[in-house]
Chain A
Amino acid sequence: MIEVQNISKRFGRKQVLKEVSFTANKGEITCLIGINGVGKTTTLKAIMNLTPINSGKIFIDQEVIQKDTYEKITFIPDANIMPTWMTIREACDFMKDYYKNWNQQRADDLMRFFKLNETDRITELSKGNTAKVNLMLGLSLDVDYVLMDEPFSGIDIFSREQIAEVVTSHLIEDRGVVITTHEINDIEHLIDKVVLLDNGVVLKEFTTEEVRLTEGKSVMDVMREVYQP
């Protein structure tokens, strides 16, 4: 389980996160939704210790992040993070070199599924293919938790469908997935849990099936209530 406890973060005078708390379970897809503001990505970065927080605590399976934790949790950002001169194959080789839990079989499966050409250079990829390569590199690690930053934004509809398909597929297995997004349309049926953020504050945390069952509301209904009082 990923536990985020009362984390706060300032950028200069701007309060980006204010006492943010939530949990994300293994075997579930948790969605961090925020219609504006920067808090979502910052939260994922904070979980990965890629940016310091001013207060609060973060635990991954009851432990504070340290070097071996990166074999257990991975972060898929919304932009390319591999050197542009590499080919997709070289990027895979790089990952294989440094991560014990790299799964080449899965990488090959994902490349086939996404129709990626392993001799293509990272620098020549379209926005959609960059997202797919990022996803391929992240999901080919045998980790327990996957954090995805805006996997659907700025991508054509067919790529979005493919990505949504991967998220529900056996490739995810029983990992814990955290997705940030500002748009819920494509993935309402995919997610277990929603954390609604606004201006760095958690406004509501709920499970989707529960809210449909007990209140007869869609995620969008709840968002409308919460964001437009």
Chain B
Amino acid sequence: MNRYWKLVNFELYRFLKLYVSLIALTIILQFTGVVVKSLSYVHQANSDIYEHGMSRAQFIEQNGLANFMQIAGSLWFLAPIMISATVILGYIFLIWYRDWFAKNRFIYRLLMLPTSRLTIYFAKASAILLMVLGLIALEIIILPFQLSLFQLLVPADLRQDIPITAVLGFQVLAIIIPGTWMQFVLHYLAGFMLVCVLFTAILFERCYRWKGLFLAVLYCAASVMVFIAPAILAAIRIIDFYPNELVSLEIVLGLVVMGAAVWISQFLLKNKITV
């Protein structure tokens, strides 16, 4: 195992407790959501039909068929996703700052490892990416079970079955789990770019402190500008792009922004970092 993979492994291990909590939270809240939502629908149906003598057709006309989208759109389902996203976003900062500000100064050891300092940077970035992909994988794995549970709880004549692909195309899920491989790769490449830009901003702050904070803001603004420039130009119709052109251009610019982030970080880590 080379030092890069060891470091990735190490970073993942350090996040493990929080990560397991996120996984537990997601599973518990989402499954609870499926149960609560399904049962409340069935309960409503039972009470209307058997106690208030409503016909099935009437009930369905009034309430609509039960549908998994209603669950997937509920806070039960979205809250754990949003919490996970927030925690990981926070951890992008914490993964560096904890090495400076914990009771230990682990950054000393990291910077004195007999390996390129960029390895540390990439290990931390890869760890973040793997954490995100892990949570996505979890969502993809538990979705079919949630669907089955829904079907188990709601009788067939009261529900509208939709294919899992349609569920995936819904709301937040469409963003975190894009439909095609190409889109998936693009989304996560963009995500990785974002991580690199934030890491570089953090390093600016760590190297120059208050002045660095200012530089970091400028740097982030510049990166965002470069990345979204074509979209803006297209939006205000200065240049018209074919969709394919726009995608290719964005890929190129994304790589440029990422390359710049890595190059600047390499410079900062080698020449300017201070513990």
- Touch between A and B in complex, CB under 8 Å? yes
For the side of the interface on B, what is the size category? 20 to 34
Q: A184 interface residue, CB < 8 Å from B?
A: no
> What per-residue 1/0 map shows which CB atoms of B130-145 lie under 8 Å from chain A?
0000000000000000
Closest-CB distance, A121 to chain B (whole angstroms) = 12
Closest-CB distance, B180 to chain A (whole angstroms) = 40
Q: A67 interface residue, CB < 8 Å from B?
A: yes
Query: Max chain B CB contacts within 10 Å: which of A45, A52, A75, A98?
Result: A98
Stretch at the interface among A77-85, A111-119, A201-209: A77-85
Q: A13 interface residue, CB < 8 Å from B?
A: no
Closest-CB distance, A92 to chain B (whole angstroms) = 13
Given the complex of chains A and B, what is the CA–CA distance between A84 and B106 in angstroms? 9
Given the complex of chains A and B, what is the CA–CA distance between A140 and B10 in angstroms? 22
For the side of the interface on A, what is the size category? 20 to 34
Given the complex of chains A and B, what is the CA–CA distance between A77 and B111 in angstroms? 13
Closest-CB distance, A135 to chain B (whole angstroms) = 15
Given contacts A52-B274, A84-B104, contact A70 B112 (CB under 8 A): yes
Contact between B104 and A83 (Cβ–Cβ < 8 Å)?
Answer: yes
Smallest CB-CB separation from B14: which chain A residue?
A83
Contact between A75 and B14 (Cβ–Cβ < 8 Å)?
Answer: no
Closest-CB distance, A114 to chain B (whole angstroms) = 19
Contact between B104 and A51 (Cβ–Cβ < 8 Å)?
Answer: no
Contacting B at CB under 8 A, from A151-207, are none
Given contacts A67-B114, A70-B112, A98-B3, contact A52 B272 (CB under 8 A): yes
Contact between B112 and A75 (Cβ–Cβ < 8 Å)?
Answer: yes
A75: B residues at CB distance < 8 A: 108, 112
Which of B6, B109, B115 meets A82, CB within 8 Å?
B109
B275: A residues at CB distance < 8 A: 45, 50-51
Q: B20 interface residue, CB < 8 Å from A?
A: no
Contact between B271 and A52 (Cβ–Cβ < 8 Å)?
Answer: yes
Closest-CB distance, A178 to chain B (whole angstroms) = 15
B109: A residues at CB distance < 8 A: 81-82
Q: A215 interface residue, CB < 8 Å from B?
A: no
Contacting B at CB under 8 A, from A65-96, are 67-71, 74-75, 77, 79-84, 94
Closest-CB distance, A73 to chain B (whole angstroms) = 9
Given the complex of chains A and B, what is the CA–CA distance between A75 and B110 in angstroms? 12
- Which A positions have Cβ atoms within 8 angstroms of B? 45, 48-52, 67-71, 74-75, 77, 79-84, 94, 97-100, 122-123
